């Protein structure tokens, strides 16, 4: 994966047109541009986050933070929480008398031992799923989550088992540095902040060429807006598919 130093070199080469423009960035200014771009992509780009389960052990309810505010501090990399469940509680299956050896009465069992090959395959898969449900059953827990403070607030009743958080976490910077849209967005932002980053003003260059800062900024703005529009379309497409 790409390192930050390699990514910085790519940015400089792109903005300076392969060093044809004699510029040298102010490290802190360029760092600010890249950091802002990372934050923006983690918040708005689907490819900048990935789904992950986080297990919260039962003992977290004994911490001072939870006792005073019913809150759990999640890692800073957690951008969003989409679900919270408690392990160890039986699902409502419509019956309060579930045979512990469900295979003796379960339809899946009969499919597995007495059906055709397709039915057998289905029965085995369904039985494995039932095993999972029986041994790792989840019951939803009401919650609130702030991506600004990374605080997960447990609403309502106390829980007596471990909790499972369904979350979206940031991919690493190194992985993000290899994303082409992130590169284009950062180049655009760098061009928009050209004077601050490189300390450069409108100038005549060697060979009779000229550098217009206003044109540089407009070019950068167009790049940024194009990437933002792409990200917006991606999000709308995902929302549309999820509706069906």
Task: Tell me the per-residue pLDDT of 158-194, one tens digit each, with 9 for 90 and over.
Answer: 777 888 899 999 999 999 999 999 999 999 999 998 8
Tell me if residue 159 falls in helix, strand or coil.
coil
The answer to whether residues 23 and 15 touch, using CB atoms and an 8 Å cutoff, is yes
pLDDT digits (tens, 9 = 90+) for 25-65: 888 999 999 999 999 999 999 999 999 999 998 888 889 99
| Count of domains observed in the chain | 3
Residue 112: pLDDT above 50? Answer: no
Residues 39 and 113 occupy one common structural domain: no
DSSP symbol at 67 = H
Q: What is the pLDDT of residue 19?
A: 73
Residues 38 and 125 occupy one common structural domain: no
Tell me if residue 234 falls in helix, strand or coil.
helix
At residue 12's C-alpha, the angle toward residues 181 and 173, to 5°, is 45
Give domain status of residue 4, yes or no: yes
Give domain status of residue 210, yes or no: no
Name residues whose C-beta falls within 8 Å of residue 25's C-beta, 6 or more positions apart in sequence: 8, 12, 197, 198
Residue 118 lies in domain:
102-136
Alpha-helix residue ranges (DSSP H) falling in 91-212? 107-114, 117-135, 173-176, 180-192, 194-198
Residues 82 and 114 occupy one common structural domain: no
pTM score: 0.71
Give domain status of residue 96, yes or no: no
Residues 81 and 145 occupy one common structural domain: yes
Instruction: Supply 63's token pair.
Output: 């911490």
Residues 85 and 144 occupy one common structural domain: yes
Residues 54 and 35 occupy one common structural domain: no
Q: What is the pLDDT of residue 239?
A: 53
Q: What is the pLDDT of residue 129?
A: 54
Give domain status of residue 174, yes or no: no
């Amino acid at each position: 994966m790409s390192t930050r130093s390699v990514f910085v070199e790519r940015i400089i080469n792109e903005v300076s047109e392969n060093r044809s423009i004699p510029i040298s960035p102010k490290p802190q200014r360029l760092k600010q541009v890249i950091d802002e771009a990372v934050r923006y992509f983690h918040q708005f780009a689907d490819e900048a986050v990935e789904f992950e389960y986080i297990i919260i052990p039962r003992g977290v309810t004994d911490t001072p933070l939870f006792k005073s505010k019913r809150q759990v501090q999640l890692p800073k990399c957690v951008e969003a929480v989409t679900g919270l469940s408690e392990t160890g509680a039986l699902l409502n299956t419509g019956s309060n008398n579930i045979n512990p050896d469900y295979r003796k009465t379960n339809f899946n069992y009969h499919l597995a031992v007495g059906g055709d090959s397709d039915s057998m395959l289905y029965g085995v898969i369904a039985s494995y799923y039932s095993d999972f449900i029986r041994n790792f059953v989840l019951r939803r827990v009401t919650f609130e989550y702030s991506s600004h403070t990374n605080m997960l607030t447990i609403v309502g009743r106390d829980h007596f088992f471990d909790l499972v958080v369904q979350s979206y976490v940031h991919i690493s910077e190194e992985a993000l540095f290899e994303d082409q849209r992130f590169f284009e967005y950062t180049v655009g932002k760098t061009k928009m902040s050209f004077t601050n980053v490189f300390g450069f003003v409108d100038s005549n260059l060697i060979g009779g060429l000229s550098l217009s800062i206003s044109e540089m900024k407009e070019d950068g703005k167009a790049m940024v807006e194009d990437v933002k529009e792409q990200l917006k379309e991606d999000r709308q497409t995902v929302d549309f598919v999820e509706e069906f």
